[in-house]
Amino acid sequence: MTKARLGGDADAPERQLTKSLAPVREVMDSGDLDFNQLLQRDLDDHRVAVNLIPYLLKPQATGPAFFPPIMAVLLPFKNKRPTSFPMLDTSKQVEHDDALWQEERAGNAFRVHRLLGVDGELHGANVGKLWWNQSEASLVVLDGQHRAMALLAVERTLSRTWQGNGEQFRPFYEHQVERLLNEYQVSEVDLAKIEVPVTVCWFPCETGESSRPHESARKLFVDVNKEARPPSESRIILLSDGELVNVLTRSLLSALRGRNGAHLPLYGVEYDNPEINTSRPARWSVMTNIHLLKMAVNRCIFGPPKYLINLAQPISGREKAEERDEFMRTQLDLASLLPDYLDDAGYPYDRDAIGDRNFPLGRAEAIAGRFMETWGLAILTLLSQTAPYAAHAEGLARFKESWHTANTHAALAHDALFGGVGIYWTLRDSYDHYQDAIRRLNGPKPPKSDVIRAWETLKEKESEFDEYRAHAYVGSTRRDVVKRCKAAFGVFNTHACQLGLIMTLASLWEMRKNQPGGADIKDLPAFSAALVAGWNTFFKSGGSRARDRRYAFTRDCSHPINQISNMDTPNAVYFRYFWMQALATSSAWRHLDSWLPNRDAFDAGLSAARHMYLDLCIKQKLKALESSDPLLGPERRIARAKKLATAELQKALHHWFDVLPQEFEAWLASEVSRGNQVELDLANEVPAPEATDASNR
pLDDT at residue 517 in the model: 85
Q: At 86, phi and psi to the nearest 5?
A: -60, 160
Compute the distance between CA of residue 435 and CA of residue 429 in angstroms, rounded to an integer: 10
Compute the distance between CA of residue 30 and CA of residue 24 in angstroms, rounded to an integer: 9
The string of DSSP codes covering 6-64 is -SS-TTSHHHHHHHHEE-HHHHS-GGG--GGG--SPPP-HHHIIIIIHHHHHS--TT--
pLDDT at residue 33 in the model: 57
In the predicted model, is pLDDT for residue 61 greater than 80?
no
pLDDT mean across residues, the chain: 89
pLDDT at residue 670 in the model: 84
Query: Considering only CA atoms, which of 361, 395, 412 is closest in space to residue 218?
Result: 361
Question: Is 52 in contact with 173 (CB distance < 8 Å)?
Answer: no
Compute the distance between CA of residue 72 and CA of residue 223 in angstroms, rounded to an integer: 14
Compute the distance between CA of residue 532 and CA of residue 588 in angstroms, rounded to an integer: 9
In the predicted model, is pLDDT for residue 217 greater than 70?
yes
Compute the distance between CA of residue 476 and CA of residue 632 in angstroms, rounded to an integer: 47
Kindly report, residue by residue over 5-39, the tens digit of the pLDDT. 998 888 889 999 999 998 878 887 666 556 666 66
From residue 435, alpha-carbon distances to 604, 659, 690 in Å are 57, 54, 37
Confidence of residue 657 (pLDDT cuts 50, 70, 90): very high
pLDDT at residue 684 in the model: 44
Compute the distance between CA of residue 576 and CA of residue 48 in angstroms, rounded to an integer: 44
Question: Is 298 in contact with 695 (CB distance < 8 Å)?
Answer: yes
Kindly report, residue by residue over 479-489, the tens digit of the pLDDT. 999 999 999 99
Compute the distance between CA of residue 646 and CA of residue 385 in angstroms, rounded to an integer: 33
Question: Is 61 in contact with 76 (CB distance < 8 Å)?
Answer: no
Kindly report, residue by residue over 289-301, the tens digit of the pLDDT. 999 999 999 999 9
Compute the distance between CA of residue 172 and CA of residue 43 in angstroms, rounded to an integer: 12
Mean pLDDT of 190-196: 88
The four Cα atoms 487, 488, 489, 491 give a dihedral, to 10 degrees, of: 100
Angle at 140 between CA 134 and CA 145, to 5 degrees: 140
Helix (H) or strand (E) holding 145, with range, is helix 145-159
H-helix segments, 45-112? 45-47, 53-57
Compute the distance between CA of residue 66 and CA of residue 52 in angstroms, rounded to an integer: 11
Tell me, letter by letter, the H, E, C secondary structure of 148-175: HHHHHHHHHHHHCCCCCCCHHHHHHHHH
Query: Across the strands, what pairs with 350?
Result: 341
Compute the distance between CA of residue 114 and CA of residue 125 in angstroms, rounded to an integer: 10
Kindly report, residue by residue over 332-391, the tens digit of the pLDDT. 999 999 999 999 988 899 999 999 999 999 999 999 999 999 999 999 999 999 999 999
* Amino acid identity, position 536: N
Other Cβ atoms less than 10 A from the Cβ of 76: the count is 22
> 53-62, 508-517, 660-669: which has the minimum mean pLDDT?
53-62
- Can you state the angle between helices 572-583 and 634-657, rounded to 10 degrees? 40
pLDDT at residue 542 in the model: 73
Compute the distance between CA of residue 218 and CA of residue 243 in angstroms, rounded to an integer: 13
pTM to 2 decimal places: 0.81
In the predicted model, is pLDDT for residue 494 greater than 70?
yes
In the predicted model, is pLDDT for residue 680 greater than 50?
no
Residue 642's Cβ-count burial label (10 Å; 0-12, 13-18, 19+) is middle
8-state DSSP, 355? B
Compute the distance between CA of residue 636 and CA of residue 622 in angstroms, rounded to an integer: 10
How many angstroms from the chain centroid is the CA of residue 568?
Answer: 18
Compute the distance between CA of residue 433 and CA of residue 116 in angstroms, rounded to an integer: 54
8-state DSSP, 312? T
Query: Considering only CA atoms, which of 455, 459, 457 is closest in space to residue 426?
Result: 455
Instruction: Kindly tell me the number of DSSP H helices and DSSP E strands found in the chain.
Output: 27, 14
Confidence of residue 686 (pLDDT cuts 50, 70, 90): very low
Query: Across the strands, what pairs with 326?
Result: none
Query: Considering only CA atoms, which of 166, 90, 97, 103 is closest in space to residue 131?
Result: 103
From residue 66, alpha-carbon distances to 60, 188, 408, 458, 608 in Å are 11, 19, 34, 37, 63
From residue 339, alpha-carbon distances to 49, 347, 379 in Å are 53, 14, 27
Confidence of residue 685 (pLDDT cuts 50, 70, 90): very low
Helix (H) or strand (E) holding 197, with range, is strand 195-201
Kindly report, residue by residue over 495-549, the tens digit of the pLDDT. 999 999 999 999 999 999 999 889 999 999 999 999 999 999 999 987 677 789 9
Query: Across the strands, what pairs with 196?
Result: 4
Show contacts of 159-162: CB within 8 Å, 24+ apart: 159/10, 161/19
Query: Considering only CA atoms, which of 623, 541, 615, 543 is closest in space to residue 582?
Result: 541
Q: Tell me how long the chain is.
A: 697
Percent of the chain with pLDDT over 70: 91
Query: Considering only CA atoms, which of 414, 413, 453, 460 is closest in space to residue 431?
Result: 453
Kindly report, residue by residue over 240-287, the tens digit of the pLDDT. 888 999 999 999 999 987 665 667 899 999 988 877 655 678 899 999
In the predicted model, is pLDDT for residue 675 greater than 60?
no
In the predicted model, is pLDDT for residue 570 greater than 80?
yes
Question: Is 224 in contact with 105 (CB distance < 8 Å)?
Answer: no
Query: Cis peptide leading into 304, omega within 30 of 0?
Result: yes
Kindly report, residue by residue over 435-476, the tens digit of the pLDDT. 998 988 877 888 899 999 999 999 999 999 999 999 999 999
pLDDT at residue 227 in the model: 59
Compute the distance between CA of residue 485 and CA of residue 539 in angstroms, rounded to an integer: 13
H-helix segments, 298-356? 306-309, 321-331
Other Cβ atoms less than 10 A from the Cβ of 424: the count is 25
Compute the distance between CA of residue 96 and CA of residue 253 in angstroms, rounded to an integer: 49
In the predicted model, is pLDDT for residue 174 greater than 50?
yes
In the predicted model, is pLDDT for residue 602 greater than 70?
yes
